[in-house]
Amino acid sequence: MRALEFGDEMKVFSPPRLADLPPPPPGKTGWPWTEERPPLPERMPDGSEWPRISIVTPSLHQVAFIEETIRSVLLQGYPNLEYIIIDGASTDGTVDIIRKYEPWIADWVSVKERGQGNAINKGLKWASGEIIAYINSDDFYLPGAFHCVAQYFVAHVDVDLMHGRCRYIDESGNKLRDHASNITKYAEILDLWDVWWNKRQFVQPEVFWTKRITDKVGPFRENLHWVMDYEFWARILRAGGKVGCFDAPVGCFRFHANQKSTQPKKTAEELLQVVRPLIWEKRSLLSRRQRLRLKANWLFDAVFRKEAARSLAEKQSRVQRWIRLAMLVWRYPAIIIAPEFRRRARGALSFWN
């Protein structure tokens, strides 16, 4: 498994047909096993080239799913595709699957990585497409995804981050439901409470962005484990990147026992760590009202809740706990703006009445 060397020329292929690829495993049918997307014309209707799309797949020990991911990229029938796989030295058979599809992969490597963010950044360093995305090796694209993205990109040249809809599936690939993101402004992506945790969040397989915004905002933060994609998207909006949405399902996000997304508490904690400096920064892009509201919600979740949990762990009485929390509110009066604090305060008052 060779490492990519600076200056290597990346390979861009004509889209393979279903018959060109290795046969699917026994029992696998439908997209992308026995179905394909008919290839698009080599050029767009006006005679120009289709915008190049670069897809990066970071992978580690996903032998059960990565072949579906690879085929869903290759069978899009898209004529200007650059596909890069960065594997973290998997030992479960993943590398054998990648090798089967090597003739249609721009480049790949299997070496020890410093986490998912490091793997994505390696791929982004080599991506030459005007449109860029990454997809994890347990998710996959739906047929026609790249066509939708390219059409939208060409029609909306001022957009920096574009997304369709995402389909949630279970471990076996059965549809659970469709998800529609709804974020267009910087203040919205920072609002974990009324937006991100209120089912309006971006989901990774649905999101694509431009190379020009990548060059502007820089790489993924490699010190983040759970929310490196969220922080990257927030940086795009903070830099003035424009968001665009098209109404089509483009990718599937798989729920299964071994994924990182099964750690909601750790994910929430890292999200709170990421948004704090953005909410508190002095030269903020937020209005005064937006900052006050977000500060209140942050203080309630990251300070008030934790103090209440510590009081319970120390087995303090209800009165002791209320005194302790009242002192905390005196120290951080902005907490009283938080809707959840007000709800709890009303409950406390009704207890005494």
| 163, 245 contact by CB (below 8 A) | yes
252 closest CA partner among 329, 315, 325, 164: 164
For residue 176, the one-letter residue type is L
- Asked if 288 contacts 337 with a C-beta cutoff of 8 angstroms, the reply is no
Burial class (CB in 10 A: 0-12, 13-18, 19+), 345: middle
Cα separation, 160 vs 81, whole angstroms: 19
Rama region for 240: left / alpha / beta (φ>0; ψ in -120 to 50; rest): left
3-state secondary structure at position 121: helix
Provide the pLDDT for residue 261. Answer: 58
- Give tens-digit pLDDT for 20-30: 999 999 999 99
Phi, psi for 231 (deg, rounded to 5) = -65, -35
12 with 107: CB under 8 angstroms? no
Domain spanning 18-269: CATH superfamily:
Spore Coat Polysaccharide Biosynthesis Protein SpsA; Chain A (3.90.550.10)
Higher pLDDT: 18 or 283? It is: 18
Bigger pLDDT: 255 or 349? 255
pLDDT for 350 equals 57
Beta bridge partners, 209, equal 132, 161
Residue 29 structure tokens: 């049918």
pLDDT digits (tens, 9 = 90+) for 329-346: 999 999 999 999 988 877
- Residue found by looking up tokens 């406390």 in the block: 348
Q: What is the number of alpha carbons within 13 Å of residue 103 lying toward its C-beta?
A: 8
Angle between helices 339-352 and 288-299 (to 10 degrees): 50
Q: What is the pLDDT of residue 184?
A: 97
With a cut of 70, say whether residue 75 has pLDDT above it.
yes
CB–CB of 113/33 below 8 Å?
no
Say what the pTM is. 0.92
Structure confidence at residue 107 (pLDDT): 93
pLDDT at 256: 84
Q: Break the chain into its structural domains and give their ranges.
A: 18-269, 288-352
Q: What is the pLDDT of residues 26-57, one digit of tens each?
A: 999 999 999 999 999 999 999 999 999 999 99
Quote the strand ranges of 97-170, DSSP E. Answer: 107-110, 131-134, 140-141, 161-169
pLDDT in tens, 83-121: 999 999 999 999 999 999 999 999 999 998 888 999 999
